[in-house]
Amino acid sequence: MSLSEIKSRIAAEEARTGRAPGSTTLIAVSKLQPLERVEAVLEEGHRVFGENRVQETAGKWPALRERFAGVELHLIGPLQSNKTRQAMALFDAIHTLDRPKLARAIARIADETGHCPRLFVQVNTGEEPQKAGVAPADADAFIAEVRALGLPLEGLMCIPPVDEEPSLHFALLAKIAARNGLAGLSMGMSGDFERAIAQGATHVRVGSAIFGERVYD
Ligand SMILES: *Cc1c(COP(=O)(O)O)cnc(C)c1O
């Protein structure tokens, strides 16, 4: 597949479900992709990318940002507290805010630097023990806590269990967002981004369908 094909599938799903054209932001997930594939997508004019590791991003993106203006980077992987400062300097948005300690660290650094990325709270919609995110039952309280710190909370993010129908999880995330007055919904990956758009996704995170299979070494 290719960038243009994914973009036209997004446009088609927006049209089919009555969403406004262009209301879904495509985050091209470039983690573990060879540099030439990332450069090719940048050459095509795409500027919004997702990475899941702070270290990999620090090694790769500062040089690319110098060559390509207007890049927007989204952190979609877990964030360790000791990497908060570095992540806040590298990323325009963080999708994996999932605990009070991290929220307090972000607030402290934002106060100090006067800069804070846009934030998404990760919700563990499947309540999977190995997965990050706040439990659905704890989401409202955590969202209130993040807001009380004055942080720029844009929305919610989820990664559904691999063996369940993702639409149910997308619908649950949309419901939690709606009752908390949050507009952003980061949900949907290569295999299910159309279903996520049908449930109101504002940000889809698509990797392998754009770049091909990731290279693990
Ligand atoms: C890797 C990753 C993606 C992209 O996955 P694909 O199946 O390659 O589209 C999306 N979201 C998160 C959180 C990821 O870690």
Chain center to CA of 111: 23
Domains located in the chain, CATH noted:
3-211 (3.20.20.10)
> Which portions of the chain are predicted below pLDDT 50?
none
Q: Does ligand 1 come within 6 angstroms of the Cβ of 29?
A: yes
pLDDT tens, position by position, 23-70: 999 999 999 999 999 999 999 999 999 999 999 999 999 999 999 999
pLDDT at position 188? 98
Please state the atom number of ligand 1 nearest to the C-alpha of residue 205: 10
pLDDT at position 72? 98
DSSP one-letter string for 6-52: HHHHHHHHHHHTTPPTT-SEEEEE-TT--HHHHHHHHHTT--EEEES
**Alpha carbon of 74 to ligand 1 centroid (Å):** 12
**Alpha carbon of 52 to ligand 1 centroid (Å):** 9
What is the H or E stretch that residue 173 is in?
A: helix 166-179
